[in-house]
Amino acid sequence: MTSGDGVRTVGHGEHRVLALHGWFGSAEGWGQLPDLVDPEVYTWAFPDLRGYGARRDEPGEHTVAEVAADALELADRLGWDRFSVVGHSMGGKFAQQVLADAPDRVRRLVAVSGVPAGPTPFDQEARGLFGGAARDRGSRYAIIDLTTGNRLPRRFVDGLVQHSLDACDPAAFADYLTAWADEDVSSAVGAVAGRVPVLCVVGRHDPALGEDAMRATWLETHPGAELVVLADAGHYAMYETPPALVAVIEEFLGRE
């Protein structure tokens, strides 16, 4: 169920999980994942970020710091003292800032094709493609098709494109590119690295944020972080291989 303030909640278990969506996502943009998590064990909260979904018209700065502050304010409203954080794509950078801001409250951290803490290197052509995606449907299609390995049906890719167009204000979408691609929160994250268990889940067909990228970024930043590669997924495992993704996440979150 999604509330009027853009928070979708699933389950009633004692293990609390805060899920921060990606650039093309929303509170409703998690594929089948919310339908497959164990409601007896977990309580998941899927909030819309400012500019998305039920918060599409809510003003904001659309920065990493703002997202983390909003996430912690939501945890306070829900009465969650301790919780795990799951971040998809750009949500992975935001999840790391939540950890940096409240390391004693975060139990475990999961990055699903997560953006690293430092700036994302782009060549001029790639930056132009991503920069044009706020207003251009074709750019969004090209990005999603690329990051899922140019292997999925046109209607699948186009469905993700349409969701992103429907779910987010274009100006906010453009702002968030600056947040996830350019902001550098590596010093703050590095100061708390190693304090909580971290899991990185990537798809084998993701050329941008796949295994090599995780080893060069997340696994360097977070000592002892685990890495799982899903053989049949690209950047959107919650849509491409949701049962496998949920199984990996729940095994990790379920540990003592």
Domains located in the chain, CATH noted? 7-253 (3.40.50.1820)
12, 39, 25: which is closest to 114 by C-alpha?
25
Q: How far apart are CA 195 and CA 96, in angstroms?
A: 12
For helices 64-78 and 170-182, the axis angle rounded to 10 degrees is 100
**103, amino acid identity:** P
Chain centroid to CA 162: how far?
A: 18
* pLDDT tens digits for range 198-240: 999 999 999 999 999 999 999 999 999 999 999 999 999 999 9
Output the average pLDDT for the chain: 97
- pLDDT one-digit tens code per residue, 122-141: 999 999 999 999 999 999 99
Torsion angle in degrees (nearest 10) through CA of 190, 98, 96, 58: -140
d(CA 35, CA 44): 11
What 3-state class would DSSP assign to 73?
A: helix
User: To 5 degrees, how large is the angle CA 117–CA 55–CA 98?
Assistant: 25
pLDDT over 90, % of the chain: 98
pLDDT classification of 1: cutoffs 50, 70, 90: very low
* Tokens 């304010």 sit on residue: 73
How many CA atoms, within 13 angstroms, populate the side-chain half-sphere of residue 154?
1
What 3-state DSSP class applies to 206? coil
